[in-house]
Chains A and B, each alone.
Chain A
Amino acid sequence: MSAIDSDDDIQSSTQIQQPKLPGNYSARISDRWSQQNRRDSINSTTIDGVHSKLSLDHIFPAQLYSTESGRLFHAGQVLIVLVGLPARGKTHLAVSITRYLRWLGVKTHPFHVGDYRRAVYKNFEDDIPQDYFSAVPKTEIGIKLRQKVLKDCLDGISNFFEIEKGQVAIYDALNALPKDRLDLQNEFGSKGIKVLFIESIVDDDELLARNVANAASSPDYIGWNPKQAKEDYINRIKTNAPIYIKMNEGNEDESALSFIKFINFGDRLIMNNSQYGYLINRIVFFLMNSKIKNGCVYFARCGKSDLDKYIDDEELNKSGLEFSEKLSSKLLNHVSKRKKLEKKPSFVNVVMAGGNHNLLGQSGTTNKQSIHPPFLSAYTNSHSNLNSNFNSNTNSANQSTDNLNIKHKIRQPPTADGSSEDSFVVWTATRKRTSSTANPFRQKGITVRERYQLNQLNPGEVADMTQDEIKSQFPDEYEQDLNDPYHHRYPRAESYHDLAVRMEPLLLEMERMSGDILIIAHESVLAVLYGYLMACSCYDIPSLKFPRNEIVEISYTPYENVARRIVMDDVEP
């Protein structure tokens, strides 16, 4: 709730270019999108593109409009400074915020100090002075190296703001001392760049142990023996723990800074002087839902229907039904094996063992005609265990309350889909073929949710036409589509871009899921979701292929996401 003027939204609209054509300046339909020289494909569609360098006029999947400055007009430039000891998930934060903001159309880049150090010292074991890893090195060579690396990194940030039309830079380093932080505020604040500190604090030992274990996947430890890697990493934590001073706890000047304390990965957020600009609101919304995930996201196509027409919204035919069975057994076997390897429990294993799923109570499983809107379906079932003979216990307010009964001290467990790591949930579109493809999962007692946002790209007037028919009936449109298949919109159709904007509310819900999730949808929808998770360029998204005989698995690591394809041998592509 902001009563205080937010600094960056409406006032700065003077930057907006006046429309050249009357009625619209949204670049979505202007030809600025489709100029050949603006195309840049991020190197590969099979490697997470979240670290790739962006060209000057890069256009993002769900970007709403573009401006000459390359920035969103209602959100100024922001430097996000991460603060915290090693193993506090800073890199994960930098990467996942970058992914989300880029998707929204904000030119964002993560600047990991480790990358700059590695640029100086190619091999980690080489002669790096050990005290380099301390926030306050003691030896001359350690001090020099640290200064050089930090300077390189900050130069990279300045360059990004000044030359590369960047909007949000994320500075991933220790920033352990008040002086470091106040200096950053002075340096960038004086250039009109808003500085937001995000301090990650972890005091939960289990979370910490998990983060330390993840460190073995860091680029620093490629080829290391995991045990040694872990020891080395713990050493870095030990060096810095005594030096590190939490924000606003050692120097009063820090109370004027804008910062967010992000405690135990979202358990608590404390925002200080962060008056709600558009970007900061978005980031907080993201942080409330961000998880360090162990689960995977799976993509699958739906089965076939007789005519495969868009308008008719047909049911599955025989081959489609067979496909749905094969899909469920292939995937459930795969997940079950994966979970056993990871030595983690899974709802899937219970299903495979023929457990009594009614008792397991993944609710909503019989709700075939789920018509409920986004994120709500989980909340619209009846409260089966709400005590209907409710007694308001009218005298109890008089009792001493210092001793809440033990059962009153325990939180009610969260009940939303995917809130536990062993969960397995299926999302489908509301169209009949996709929803029915999930039937074998429903029969096994697995939660299936129909989501309107997952409906395929609306083809508008070219629905159910062949390429040749389109070419002869809409020759101009056809040309434009070839030129920019991501942004072009046939008459009354959706473009891929429209689809990306429509799906945006689902992304955070997906981020929130701790367990596994399978998404059964049309190729166009899978392409866009894949584009988000793997940070693809919008010029690659329309040509991504998802054959029926492949299930895509995307897993998370702190530094990047990893995609692989599971082939179903007995299914036609």
Chain B
Amino acid sequence: MVGLPARGKSFISQKSKYIESIKTFMWSIILTIFKSVVRYLSWLSIKAKSFNVGSYRRQNHKHPDAEFFDIRNKEGWQKRQEAAEQAVTDMMNWFSDEQGVVAILDATNATRERRDWILRLCRENSIEPMFLESWCDDEKIIKKNILDVKATSPDYEGLNQEDAYEDFLKRIAKYEENYEPLDEIASKDLTFVKLINVSQQVIINKIETYLESRIVYYVMNLHIKPRCIYLSRHGESMYNLEGKIGGNADLSERGFQYAKKLPELVKQLAGDDHQKLTVWTSTLVRTQQTAEHLPYNQLQWKALDELDAGACDGLTYEEIERKFPDDFKQRDENKYEYRYRGGESYRDVVIRLEPIIMELERQENILIITHQAVLRCIYAYFMNVPQEESPWMSIPLHTLIKLEPRAYSTLVQRLKADIPAVSTYKERGTSRLGEIEDANNKSKHLITGEPVSADHPLAIK
């Protein structure tokens, strides 16, 4: 080792982290955090996955009663242990077989014994875990959380509300009996984040990498106040009419009509919320013209500008196919990674959008008026659309989209303005614009919600 200190060896592998929940009465908050963290990391191309012990357990015990969670219930305890082991086994296999980077073990992990067991397994596999505990002794917060959970947990599907509530109180009492909070002194060498009464006190211990700090920062910016995000492309532009990409063209006549109609569409879709809106646009003329009749505060972001097509800027797809045939083909083969000569790729756009996403998580009601590629990336973040699919989604002009993030999923609504516009959609393998009806392309309809087979994971129901 040529005289290098021992820790120099630590460069050999890039290790994975995983976050573990110690949930105490805070299901809905933890759930929001975990779901969001997985979505955020996946969107940034960090392979992330959540392993929920409850769903393993549910495979055999769909609707267990509170007795099941009594520590003295041998059968119940064993079933839960088996579920945890199965989840952990799958998680470790996922790390090694699929090169996972961040796994989330979503379980109660209420005892020190259980946590030590996990710690031991992780370190044997060269993983340094990060624990996340949400601890609460504020009655009001607990009550609110129970109300949220009984409405959403699959354990109580089909049960009447009062019974569910009663049972849930009992289950909490069972957990409470043997719950051992993370000891701040004994755990001083562990990486952990402890949230006490939501945010009254927060302890952040041994954050050793930038990625961990980024996750903590992201979690701090999340909030669970209800809010909606509205998305729209700019109105039809002169370049759209000519089939050209890029540029900084003005709106077409129909584009200006859309701009005029937009305030009405917003009111229709947002209802009473519309007064609390802030509008974000790009720095390009066409998004500002689209926003000009909106009576809300407006902010311009350079990061919302359209994907830069570099040397292909201002060309039609036919011209690109003629002038740069190889590039044209390469882009169709891997649209997410392909970087235009002197321009950007979808991946580049995602990188520059990251601060926008962070700010968006902090904010409440926002209307974003931007461009096709940028909108695809933002939509992909909220709807967890994989990279291979997101660049192929069809996002028609003159349509307002509403996203409503909820604990278990994000709801989508669309409102089409009754103003015709050209299609700017290009199918794979052709330079012609327009959607081909029978093209074998599932990704296309992710937003329009039209013909996607019902079993597709992203199908809109």
Contact = CB atoms under 8 A, between A and B. Distances in A.
Interface of A: 1-6, 9-10, 13, 16, 19, 22-26, 28-29, 64-65, 266-276, 278, 281, 284-285, 288-289, 310-313, 345, 347, 350, 353, 355-356, 359-363, 371-376, 378-388, 390, 392-394, 396-397, 401, 404-405, 407-416, 419-420, 422-423, 430, 452-453, 458, 463, 489, 491-492, 494, 498, 501-502, 504-505, 508-509, 512
Interface in B280-325: 281, 283-284, 288-289, 291-292, 297-300, 302-303, 308, 310-311, 313
B274 interface: no
B114 A397 contact: yes
Contact of A2 (B205, B220, B363): B220
**Which of A379, A393, A419, A423 has the most chain B CB within a 10 Å cutoff?**
A379
A16 B297 contact: yes
B141 interface: yes
Contacts of B202: 269-271, 274
B2 A350 contact: yes
A381 B224 contact: no
Contact of A271 (B189, B204, B209, B364): B204
The 10 A-B pairs with the shortest beta carbon distances in the complex, nearest first, are A413-B10, A361-B12, A412-B128, A401-B116, A288-B213, A392-B89, A355-B2, A285-B217, A311-B342, A414-B208
A29 B11 contact: no
Given A4-B199, A394-B85, A387 B125 contact: yes
A390 B92 contact: yes
A24 B288 contact: yes
A374 B350 CA distance: 10
Contacts of B97: 388
Contact of B342 (A24, A269, A313): A313
A275 B217 CA distance: 13
Given A10-B363, A361-B11, A502-B352, A416 B300 contact: no
Contacts of A2: 198-199, 220, 222-223
A81 B401 CA distance: 45
B362 interface: yes
A161 to B, nearest CB: 25
A411 B32 contact: no
Contacts of B96: 383, 386-388, 390
* Size bracket of the B interface: 35 or more
B113 A508 contact: no
A313 B217 contact: no
Interface stretch (B13-21, B155-163, B426-434, B443-451): B13-21
Contacts of B99: 380, 382-383
B137 interface: no
B1 interface: yes
Contacts of A494: 302
Contacts of B206: 267-268, 411
Nearest to B132: A1
B3 A345 contact: yes
Nearest to A504: B355
B299 A65 contact: yes
A386 B288 contact: no
B368 interface: no
A276 B14 contact: no
B347 A386 contact: no
**Which of B4, B85, B117 has the most chain A CB within a 10 Å cutoff?**
B4
Nearest to B134: A1
B436 interface: no
Nearest to B95: A386
B231 to A, nearest CB: 18
Given A453-B351, A504-B355, A413 B92 contact: no
Given A1-B224, A452-B351, A276 B199 contact: yes
A383 B188 contact: no
Contact of B12 (A363, A387, A407): A363
B14 A288 contact: no
Contacts of A384: 12-13
Contacts of A410: 123
Interface in B9-41: 9-16, 29, 32-33
Given A350-B3, A393-B121, A412 B351 contact: no
A390 B89 contact: yes
B45 A372 contact: yes
Given A3-B198, A267-B205, A411-B128, 6 more contacts: A289-B210, A312-B341, A350-B3, A379-B211, A509-B210, A512-B209
A48 to B, nearest CB: 24
A368 to B, nearest CB: 15
A3 B341 contact: no
Contact of B13 (A363, A420, A491): A363
A501 B299 CA distance: 15
A394 B141 CA distance: 36
Contact of B355 (A404, A430, A452, A505): A505
Nearest to B128: A412
Contacts of B413: none
A24 B298 contact: yes
Contacts of B207: 266, 288
21 contacts: A1-B220, A2-B198, A13-B278, A23-B289, A269-B202, A289-B213, A347-B4, A353-B2, A373-B44, A376-B45, A378-B14, A383-B16, A384-B12, A388-B96, A396-B120, A404-B119, A410-B123, A414-B208, A415-B15, A489-B283, A501-B302
A210 B49 CA distance: 41
Contact of A347 (B8, B120, B188, B217): B8
Contacts of A392: 85, 88-89, 92, 121
A288 B198 CA distance: 20
Contacts of B122: 412
Interface in B124-155: 124-128, 134, 141
Nearest to B190: A411
Contacts of B15: 383, 386, 412, 415
Given A3-B29, A390-B96, A288 B216 contact: yes
A384 B120 CA distance: 19
**Which of A28, A267, A383, A492 has the most chain B CB within a 10 Å cutoff?**
A383
Contacts of B212: 288
Given A1-B199, A408-B123, A491 B248 contact: yes
B355 A360 contact: no
A1 to B, nearest CB: 5
Contacts of A453: 351-352
Contact of B292 (A23, A26, A372): A23
A381 B46 CA distance: 11
A463 B224 CA distance: 45
B220 A422 contact: no
A267 B207 CA distance: 7
Nearest to A349: B3
Interface string B218-239: 0111111100000000000000
B73 interface: no
B5 interface: yes
B7 interface: yes
A249 B126 CA distance: 38
A92 B369 CA distance: 42
B65 interface: no
B203 interface: yes
A437 to B, nearest CB: 18
Nearest to A10: B364
A336 to B, nearest CB: 14
A64 B299 CA distance: 9
A371 B347 contact: yes
B248 A363 contact: no
A310 B342 contact: yes
A452 B339 CA distance: 11
Contacts of A270: 201-204
B62 interface: no
A6 B362 CA distance: 10
Contacts of A285: 213, 216-217, 220
A373 B351 contact: yes
B225 to A, nearest CB: 8
